[in-house]
A and B are shown apart, each in its own frame.
Chain A
Amino acid sequence: MITKQKTNRWKYLTQGIILENPILILMIGLCPTLATSTNANNALGMGIAASFVLICSNIVISAIRKFVPDSVRIPIFIIVISTFVTTVDYIMQAYTPSLHKVLGVFIPLIVVNCIILGRAEAFAYKHNIIDSFLDGLGKALGFTLIIVLMGIIREYFSKGAIFGMIIGPKALISNPMLFMIFPPGGFLLIGIFKAIINKFILNKEVVE
């Protein structure tokens, strides 16, 4: 029984990273992924901000799930989430003002990020605090992983740098692929990511 619970918990944590990756498999939370992954720094900032909100709201919603009447649960989820979003908004404004300025409207928009409301409804409302924390952490890691990966690729091709450090070949720096920093590059990249996932994960499951 205890081992089963342990494997379950391990599954909650790891599932979010690849097999139930919110962006690539569930296809939710696309807006911030595409909009803020123009360089690795912004992507990491967005990833951490959304992760904080996701984990905190999962914990709180799981903690209050027994007092919340079924019929008004969605407005209550939204209030919990928007509390944490406002917190993140003001913390970032105070400590990382330049990042806050770049991310702009996307920080308050975390409140309508489908990943967070989706996990609150599908998981945290039905599971205990520890499981919800692990689930939130797993999904947050999956989200951050993909957004930072996209940030790194887009920054490398558009500036020849990663996290602001110039490492690309001279040819790339003198002729950067500016296309990648603009919206079309983001769409193209996520299309390719999704195709790779289809090739190696989804199709295999269908065959089995």
Chain B
Amino acid sequence: MVTNLLLIFIAAFIVNNILLMRYIGLCPFFGVSTSFSTAFGMSSAVLFVMLLSTWVTWILYHFVLIPLDLVFLRTAVFILVIAALVQFVEMFLKKNFKPLYSAMGIYLPLITTNCAILAVTFLVIDYKYSLLQSTIFSIGTALGFGLVIILFSAIRERLEFAPISRSFKGYPIAFIAASLVALAFLGFVGLFGLTL
């Protein structure tokens, strides 16, 4: 049981890293990884919302959609629930947890269209995970997202001052740097027998 959970965690965290191996959530990856503080704010907001939305959609799917035979509405229901949840969380934090809100407030609306959140809610259903397994999976995924985005923000900060030819400035060199980081992460494939 514990081994199983640990394997799920490591697979989600490193081996099948959501950004570099699954290519999900790339828009915020290139958008906010320009400095450490934005990267940190974004990844903490992702951790928070991903965990909440996984719980809410898992419960909704297993206790509402399946009994009512409405599985085909999955896509529409999940995206609306996540959008509503993000709005609600934003208002709640603004009222009750000011410091937390100022740390990740501006990233919350962006998260609604972050495909990483929606992808995790679909994946835990496709993999037929239990609620506990889903929790571990979403924490692992969010930490993997944070790890890569924060590591990458350090690289981007260095790239700002590097002498780069004009055509490669900005996005192209960032993609090529991401390619090298992904190559490093490819080395983790096969760890504990976990594959892509």
Contacts and interface: CB of A to CB of B under 8 A. Distances in A.
A binds B: yes
A120 interface: no
Contacts of A179: 183
A195 B73 CA distance: 41
Interface string A64-91: 0000000000110011001101100110
Contacts of B23: 30-31, 34-35, 183, 186
A183 B186 contact: yes
A194 interface: yes
B176 A31 contact: no
B26 A78 contact: no
- Chain B: number of interface residues, binned into ranges: 35 or more
A187 B178 contact: yes
Interface in A73-113: 74-75, 78-79, 82-83, 85-86, 89-90, 104-105, 108-109, 111-113
Interface string B98-127: 000000000000000111001100110010
Contacts of A34: 23, 26
B80 A79 contact: yes
A200 to B, nearest CB: 9
Contact of A194 (B26, B115, B175): B175
Nearest to A185: B179
Contact of B122 (A35, A109, A183, A192): A109
Interface in A149-201: 179, 182-188, 190-192, 194-196, 198-199
B83 A112 contact: no
B167 interface: yes
Contact of A86 (B26, B76, B168, B183): B76
A102 B134 CA distance: 22
A145 interface: no
Given A114-B27, A184-B182, A109 B115 contact: yes
B171 interface: yes
A203 interface: yes
Given A34-B26, A78-B83, A114-B113, A188 B175 contact: yes
Nearest to B170: A198
A194 B20 CA distance: 19
> Which of B22, B115, B169, B172 counts the most A-chain CB atoms under 10 A from its CB?
B115
Nearest to A28: B27
Contacts of A35: 22-24
Contacts of A194: 171-172, 175
A112 B118 contact: yes
A27 B172 CA distance: 11
B72 interface: yes
A28 B76 CA distance: 22
Given A187-B182, A195-B168, A31 B27 contact: yes
A32 to B, nearest CB: 8
11 contacts: A30-B30, A104-B126, A105-B122, A109-B24, A109-B122, A111-B75, A114-B27, A183-B186, A187-B178, A187-B182, A198-B169
Interface of A: 27-28, 30-31, 34-35, 74-75, 78-79, 82-83, 85-86, 89-90, 104-105, 108-109, 111-114, 117, 179, 182-188, 190-192, 194-196, 198-199, 203
